[in-house]
Amino acid sequence: MPGSEQLLVDRIPTPIGELVIIADQAGKLRAVDWTDHEGRMLALLARHCRHGFDLHPRRDPHGLSRALKAYFKGDLAAIEPLETATDGTPFQHAAWRELRRIPAGRAISYAELARRIGRPRAVRATGLANGANPISIVVPCHRVIGSDGSLTGYGGGIHRKRWLLAHEGCETAE
Amino acid sequence: MPGSEQLLVDRIPTPIGELVIIADQAGKLRAVDWTDHEGRMLALLARHCRHGFDLHPRRDPHGLSRALKAYFKGDLAAIEPLETATDGTPFQHAAWRELRRIPAGRAISYAELARRIGRPRAVRATGLANGANPISIVVPCHRVIGSDGSLTGYGGGIHRKRWLLAHEGCETAE
DNA sequence: CGGCTGCTCGCGGTTTTCGGACATGGACAG
DNA sequence: CTGTCCATGTCCGAAAACCGCGAGCAGCCG
């Protein structure tokens, strides 16, 4: 079918569940999410690929799986150079770009994130944009927590957010 | 920009105004419309090419312009073998496919068209699908008229519909 | 008082929902 | 013969709902 995106998909195990990795032929990440939320992820993808897409299983596409495995083994910086390609509104892009500037081991509040993208009052909207992030872990939406230090929410489940922050050596309240 | 469609565009004069012809690299027609409705056409294209598209001027792409010129010179069958590639809903595709089965020189009613695609009661909807046709002339939406023989409507203007039907040797009321 | 808890309300981008318009025509009432 | 009503698919605009928040305030307890 002409015009339909040809995507590469791989799956890797992690201490907190299996991860699905989707890349395009240019080597850019299109989506990363937990297997048990695969439906939601595919729905997100489908919304942006109007012409449909084909998923081709491929071991370690463009070295992306290797990088993610390294991250889980303790090489936190392994995911930093990875390139991503996502659709989304200008507001969402601003939020996601800002997320990648948060270093591992740090966590900021939703209010702080809103401030950094120049929309200090769009606090709740920032939370929404966070939840719409198609690329878990690499775009570290888990590094944003409540102003009072509580973990608030996470698409993959709070326990994973807690694990990831601990893995990155971040002391958080609660 | 990766993922954006590369399209070829040409323009030809006709007795009833300039025509814009848009083809893809595979040689299939993507759109045909009158210059004075170009805005509407581009909007239609944009709706279906989410990732954007680039238009490259090209004389007579894949022989399509030549075929259309031949049609206007009297070789009515010249446009019949041309291949098209369009987006659209299943209902629209059914309508457009059925349109191409109407021979030059014939005109049927919206009700008859609705009957032929198996939705005898979706008469008005058929008119809408007709109006959403991106490929004027080649997909001959002008060959559909009111049950009482009146020309009803046409995206490019009624006068063009009348001219086209006369050009094809079709005697219509009004 | 000082500190903590819990509730309420406003914030703003995105998604969903809803109502209308339209390239018609047949049935039915007056 | 004329007017009215309705079926039917799709798009568009407006309006409302939805939330991965956070500040402000009342109430409660030592």
Q: Is A74 left (phi over 0), alpha (psi -120 to 50) or beta?
A: left
| Residue that wins the pLDDT comparison between B173 and A152 | A152
Inter-residue contact A20 to A33 (CB < 8 Å): yes
The mean pLDDT value of chain B amounts to 91
Write the pLDDT tens digit of every residue in B122-132.
999 999 999 99
Nearest-10 crossing angle of helices B123-131, B90-99: 80
Does domain B90-167 fall under CATH 2.40.50.140? My reply is no
Q: Which of residues 114-143 of A touch strand D (CB under 7 A)?
A: 123-128, 130-131, 133, 141-142
Same fold, B5-79 and B90-167: no
The fold of B5-79 is Double Stranded RNA Binding Domain (3.30.160)
The mean pLDDT value of chain A amounts to 91
**Alpha carbons B14 and B18: distance in angstroms, whole number:** 6
Domain locations in chain A as residue ranges: 5-79, 90-167
Walk across the sheet containing A5-12 and list its strands. Answer: A29-34, A19-23, A5-12, A53-57
The answer to whether residue A49 is catalytic is no
Per-residue pLDDT band for A40 (boundaries 50, 70, 90) equals confident
Inter-residue contact B43 to B109 (CB < 8 Å): no
Task: Name the residue with the least CA to C1' distance from nucleotide C24.
Answer: B124
| Predicted local distance difference test score (pLDDT) of residue A4 | 73
In one-letter notation, the amino acid at residue A73 is: K
Three-state secondary-structure class, residue B145: strand
Task: Name the residue with the least CA to C1' distance from nucleotide D21.
Answer: A124
pTM: 0.81
Per-residue pLDDT band for A54 (boundaries 50, 70, 90) equals confident
| Predicted local distance difference test score (pLDDT) of residue B60 | 97
Write the pLDDT tens digit of every residue in A138-154.
999 999 999 988 888 89
| Predicted local distance difference test score (pLDDT) of residue B173 | 53
Instruction: Tell whether A48 is within 8 A of chain B (Cβ).
Output: yes
Q: What is the dihedral of CA B114, B118, B122, B127, to 10 degrees?
A: -30
| Structure tokens, A158 | 């709070």
